[in-house]
Chain A
Amino acid sequence: MLLYVLLAAPLVAALLTVFASGKDGESSFRLGLVLSLMVALLGLPLVTCMPLVEAKLQWFTLWGTNATVHLSLASDGLSAWLIQLVIWLTPIAILGSRKLVGERMRDFAAAVLVMEALMIGALLSRDLVVFYVFFEAMLVPMLVLIALFGGAERRSASLWFFLYTMFGSIFMLVAIWWLAWKTGSTDLATVITALPGLKQSGQLTATGECWLFAAFALAFAVKVPLVPFHSWQAKTYSETPAGGAVLLAGAMAKIGVYGFLRFVLPMFPALSAEYAHIFVWLGLIGVIGGALVAMAQDDIKRMIAFSSLSHLSLVMVGIFSFHQAALAGVPVQMVAHGLSVAALFLLVGYLEARSSSRGLDDFGGLADRTPIFAVLFVTTALASAALPGTANFVGEFMLLFGTYLGLGFTVAFLAGLSVILTAVYLLRVVQRWLYGKRHPSLDRLPDLGAGEILAVVPLLLASFFFGFYPKPINDQAVPVVVELSATAREQALMLKSAAAQAKAGKVEAATAAPATAVPAVPAKAAPVAPAPAASAPASAAPVAPAVSAPAAAPSVKP
């Protein structure tokens, strides 16, 4: 029952805010804040009593198939912690938007609460169609937020955001429909168990499976975003009001990563393993490229957008390394990034609300003028740069560790360059904004008020708490992540040992006949294997035991 209540509560809260509050911004601010806090308290037990599965409610029969869609909700460690992110960021978004939104708080709070409900729905649903509905519907309140409260270019940004993400997930709808048609069910667990049968009976060809895989991967890659599909991000982030950006960057982007873990890896383990190197390379381009582009930005919201791209790409690299250590870093990194990016957006939003500018050169010497802002900004920047003691460090450490153990030195080194580059672009803005000569035009800039401070401080405290004590997240979410990716990981290990054997055979052949065959680049641990090998594991090499040392130990001489 709890999950249904949790799903409905923000919607009820949104209705209450709309109808019960007066026209003035203040009353709807208070109501929205109190109601969202109540929702958050309601959702808190999720982290203690889990896993939780609700009775399914029959909904409708999908057109053209004999599959019945059920409203099936369930919570486990991964969902629970991402939901915590959603439900606690919502009151913070409302609290931090008071000055920026002002009298129009009623619309703002309602949109934020609706978005909260839809994100909770997406994270809880275990039915493909239901998930899709929530996943798409999330766009609508976001669009409202951007269109009503966005920056100067909000029209084109909202259009762009909507069309791009819509385009990304439309193929997923087709794929879901096809799966429902073939398997007669839209239940996630049923589909996962039915897929191998479809392949064996020939109803699903290797090419067809690739298309399905691509459709799902595309939808989530746009959401994360992964590199070639990132171009909506900077524009949208920079035009979104700070409170909306808190939810957009802090929580909604995580649902893209969540989609990979919940749907792509369990449904298509063989293909995920086979094409893992593509995701790793795209991730690496995102990690380094995102950081480099962030260095060249003068608009700080755009800088945060590219920084976000860089950090979430690192998560993708970690996931597709399939190493347990990296997978162990995924949940805590998602939470950590949610906290720090939300704090960054809030702080930039505060300045924007005061002076309606956010450029690199628009401020200077703020450390004197607004010391509280300065302290919070420096702390947040250092947390984003993964200083040890913050949750970001725990996540980044485990991700890099797993990347090293799973994919070798080169990939870990390239991914680790973000450690340096992140410091470069964050300290650049810290220096320009906070230090140096004070701009005379800023002499009347007021420091942060109590509400604004209260919105940021919990984020930083949580980041420190999980930085020193990530155990609650690790204990509950990591086993789920590892289990969801278990089959894909087995496949990846199989491919790796097969590649190692092929390499050994090649070396033998090379010693027999003097041929100078150069082995493949070790970073690409999984050269594209013939599709039958994946569908018929018996013919593949014996499954390598789950050793942590990679088959091709990196013998790099720096």
Chain B
Amino acid sequence: MKVSFELLWLIPFLPLLGAIINGALSLGGARSTYGASRGFVSLIAVLMPALAFVITVIAAFTLSGVQSHADMKNALVQNLWEWIAVDVAGFKFSVTAGLLFDKLTSMMLLFVTGIGTLIHLYSVGYMWEDRGFARFMAYLNLFMFSMIILVIGDSLPLTFLGWEGVGMCSYLLIGFWHHNNEYNDAARKAFIVNRIGDLGFLLGAFALFLVMDSNGLGSLNYREIAIWFQNPAHAELIATSSGLLGAACVLIFLGCTGKSAQIPLVTWLPDAMAGPTPVSALIHAATMVTSGVYLLARLADVFVVATAPVFLGLDALDIVLIVGCMTAAWGAIAGLVQLDIKKALAYSTVSQLGFMFMACGVGAFDVALFHVFTHAFFKATLFLAAGSVIHGLHHEQDMRRMGGLAKLMPITYAWFWCGWFAIIGLPGGSGFFSKDLILERLFLGGGFAPFIGAVALAVALLTAIYMTRVMYLTFWSPARHSDEVKGKVHESPATMLIPITILGFGSLVVGVLWSPLLEQYGVGTHAFESYLRPVLGSAQAISAKLAHPGGHSAHPSLWLFAGAGIAAAVGGLLIARWFWHRGHVNSSEKDLVGFAAWWTWGFDRVYHALVILPIKVVAWIMAWIVDALVAGAVGLTAEVARFLGDGYTSVQRPRLRSSLALSAAGAVGLVSLLLLSGPIAWVVGLAAVAVAVVFLLLEFLL
């Protein structure tokens, strides 16, 4: 049942308004020495997302008030205008600027606007002294607008609008301190790597349209996609175009790997830590990087029926599962060897995102979203507290020069401790519930999922180790501060501590939303799961049936998984304690720096050798050819003109001949490019492979 709700447009519009106002203020005050009034800028910047949050809450209550048992798919909708529409010569395609607010959107929006508002408040304190305060706030508001569009848009193109919008804001915010060219490089890298994924997104959307268009019902609207793929009458159509459907899913997932920093498009996220810390918390931990998981959940109905093998006998969700597992392990190992506190948290984010994708891979989309939800709380807490540490230590980020902060910054320490408690999965914290659910679903999944589950358990152990290491190096070990900051360490202002407090408290308690413990008190069991069931229920039922065709398998006690999770957490804690409790890093970590470089930059080096360098070389060669051709041609023209003017005698034969030769060579080259087919294509392909190998060798040997 669709219910029109006339206030929906305000949710994205208000942050956009804030962005416009603050952008204008920033530009208007650009010439003055101090800039626009910070009080007014902060008021606008915090108020707009806060109002968006309030409207989201109202909408969520309205949505739960709409009960009709005939159709569980309740949603609030608002169609604003027709965006892209084609209806010519028998081809019909239409995308409206329409907003869709169902249970999934509501869950995402509540934490996006809620946590977003808190981080805006935090930024007021963190960025107050910065000259570009208004510009920063304008970017943050613009980000909120894009992120809200991403989750509230009712079609793939509209989500893509938000998708690229958050990418652009991420670009602007990573490179916010644009005097530093390293930061600019990081920003550019993030944008371009994301664009690679975006191409996958677009092509995947087109392929999806093509699948649905097999009976003339092609659409990119989410509700129409869900209805089409849930329709049992379409089973045969799905079977006939299963290859195309699998390709569509993999392409869309490629888009998700870009936005959510999964292998292979993983490397931009650690570099993105160049941005100010609130940005890392908001964009690169809590909201934007989870949009890949959101998209998979949004298209859950599509992914669960894409069962045809796409690659090496794996179907789309298997690929999601394996990629998630690989990324989780890679990120956890990388997190173990970081010296920069933000980088350590960044790799931790990569790893946790891998957990979410693993859950998606076994069809447990609700569990994945639950981890998105809890992760948003505890990772935002950790980042904000880390930002507080960096602020208190006067922009020191190297953990080798931290330590002893538990006493110096007690409030920050207390909330960082809560985040740590949640992420490593000690019982009671929010991460405990969500991570154990993922482990449970993995072990109960079909096929090779239990093996992945074993790896995931090991990664959970690693998580406890690297997070406890961060705890030791930063808070618990003796102080090793540099001379400049010694004695000047201070606790952060209230605007920073209030958001940390709320989020830190949240990271302790939000786990109960999906906790069997509350059952006996009648609070309602599995509140989170039942909240999302209207959107995800049918897809999850299908995937459960596929995993266990013979009905329900033996269901071991939940306490088994909880016990394994707790064992991993406690084990990791003890191992970390054994290594780092004295805070000795200078000696033992020296070897790690080399390993860290090798491990984390491996991707960068491969890409540099296989993609960037060849493209640069080709671009250079092509530009040279073009220049030579133009030079030759211009020379030719001059010759012709002179010939016409002065007669034959003045023709300089050699120059004319060389010009002609160059032009002819160009023409021949073009023709041979056109004829590239059949055996020639093989030769060229092999040559390309050989060149690639040479580049790779050069990259790693030199």
Q: Which A positions have Cβ atoms within 8 angstroms of B?
A: 156, 159-160, 163-164, 227-228, 231, 234-235, 278, 281-282, 285, 289, 292-293, 295-297, 323-325, 327-328, 365, 367, 371-372, 375, 382, 387-389, 393-394, 397-398, 400-401, 404-405, 409, 412-413, 416-417, 419-420, 423-424, 427-428, 431, 434-437, 468-471, 474, 478-479, 482, 486, 489, 521, 524, 545-549, 553-558
CB distance from A410 to the nearest CB of B (A): 11
Interchain CB contact under 8 A, A160 and B634: yes
Other-chain residue from B84, B161, B171, B619 in contact with A389 (beta carbon distance below 8 A): B161
Chain B residue numbers with a CB within 8 Å of A524 are 677
Chain B residue numbers with a CB within 8 Å of A278 are 674
Other-chain residue from B93, B157, B207, B641 in contact with A409 (beta carbon distance below 8 A): B207
Chain B residue numbers with a CB within 8 Å of A428 are 188
Chain A residue numbers with a CB within 8 Å of B641 are 159, 163
The answer to whether the Cβ of B86 comes within 8 Å of any Cβ in the partner chain is: yes
Interchain CB contact under 8 A, B88 and A324: yes
Cα separation A289 to B88 with both chains bound (whole Å): 32
Interface centre among B84, B90, B185 (most CB of A within 10 A): B84
Cα separation A417 to B241 with both chains bound (whole Å): 25
Other-chain residue from A281, A405, A434, A549 in contact with B178 (beta carbon distance below 8 A): A434
Q: A372-B30, A521-B677 are in contact. List 10 more A-B contacts (CB 8 A).
A: A156-B638, A159-B637, A164-B637, A231-B629, A327-B88, A328-B86, A420-B199, A437-B181, A470-B83, A557-B311
The answer to whether the Cβ of B531 comes within 8 Å of any Cβ in the partner chain is: no
CB distance from A394 to the nearest CB of B (A): 6
Q: Which B positions have Cβ atoms within 8 angstroms of A?
A: 27, 30-31, 81-86, 88-91, 93, 97, 157, 160-161, 163-165, 168, 171, 175, 178-179, 181, 184-185, 188, 191-192, 195-196, 198-199, 202-203, 206-207, 209-210, 213-214, 218, 241, 243-244, 246-247, 250-251, 254, 310-311, 615-616, 618-620, 622-623, 626, 629-630, 633-634, 637-638, 640-641, 666-667, 670, 673-674, 677
Interchain CB contact under 8 A, A419 and B247: no
Interchain CB contact under 8 A, A423 and B218: no
Interchain CB contact under 8 A, B90 and A324: yes
Known contacts A296-B622, A435-B184, A555-B243; is-contact A489 B27 (Cβ 8 Å) = no
Interchain CB contact under 8 A, A424 and B192: yes
Other-chain residue from A159, A397, A469, A521 in contact with B638 (beta carbon distance below 8 A): A159
Interchain CB contact under 8 A, B206 and A404: yes
Other-chain residue from A289, A382, A548 in contact with B213 (beta carbon distance below 8 A): A548
Tell me the nearest residue of chain A to B640, going by C-beta.
Answer: A163
Chain B residue numbers with a CB within 8 Å of A555 are 243-244, 247
Interchain CB contact under 8 A, A558 and B619: no
Interchain CB contact under 8 A, B619 and A295: yes
Cα separation A400 to B206 with both chains bound (whole Å): 9
Tell me the nearest residue of chain B to A277, going by C-beta.
Answer: B674
Can you give 23 contacting A-B residue pairs, CB < 8 Å?
A292-B619, A292-B623, A297-B623, A365-B179, A372-B27, A387-B165, A388-B157, A388-B160, A389-B165, A401-B93, A409-B207, A416-B199, A419-B202, A420-B192, A435-B179, A437-B179, A474-B86, A489-B89, A521-B677, A545-B90, A548-B218, A553-B244, A557-B311
Known contacts A285-B673, A419-B202, A434-B178; is-contact A324 B89 (Cβ 8 Å) = yes
Interchain CB contact under 8 A, B633 and A478: no
Cα separation A307 to B553 with both chains bound (whole Å): 59
Cα separation A400 to B243 with both chains bound (whole Å): 21
Chain B residue numbers with a CB within 8 Å of A413 are 199, 203
Chain B residue numbers with a CB within 8 Å of A404 are 203, 206-207, 210
Chain A residue numbers with a CB within 8 Å of B243 are 555, 557
Known contacts A388-B161, A553-B244; is-contact A234 B213 (Cβ 8 Å) = no
Chain B residue numbers with a CB within 8 Å of A372 are 27, 30
Interchain CB contact under 8 A, A431 and B673: no
Known contacts A388-B161, A436-B179, A546-B90; is-contact A228 B667 (Cβ 8 Å) = yes
Interchain CB contact under 8 A, B97 and A471: no
Chain B residue numbers with a CB within 8 Å of A227 are 670
CB distance from A108 to the nearest CB of B (A): 26
Chain A residue numbers with a CB within 8 Å of B86 are 324-325, 328, 398, 474, 478
Other-chain residue from B88, B191, B198 in contact with A479 (beta carbon distance below 8 A): B88
Tell me the nearest residue of chain A to B30, going by C-beta.
Answer: A371
Interchain CB contact under 8 A, A388 and B165: yes
Chain B residue numbers with a CB within 8 Å of A479 are 88
Interchain CB contact under 8 A, A324 and B184: no
Chain B residue numbers with a CB within 8 Å of A431 are 175, 181, 184-185, 188
Cα separation A367 to B180 with both chains bound (whole Å): 13
Known contacts A436-B181, A557-B311; is-contact A293 B626 (Cβ 8 Å) = yes
Q: What 10 A-B pairs come out closest when comparing CB atoms?
A: A296-B623, A324-B91, A435-B178, A546-B90, A388-B161, A371-B30, A292-B619, A404-B206, A328-B86, A296-B619
Other-chain residue from B27, B90, B623, B667 in contact with A293 (beta carbon distance below 8 A): B623
Interchain CB contact under 8 A, B89 and A293: no
Interchain CB contact under 8 A, A420 and B633: no
Cα separation A235 to B629 with both chains bound (whole Å): 12
Chain B residue numbers with a CB within 8 Å of A420 are 192, 195-196, 199
Cα separation A281 to B31 with both chains bound (whole Å): 50
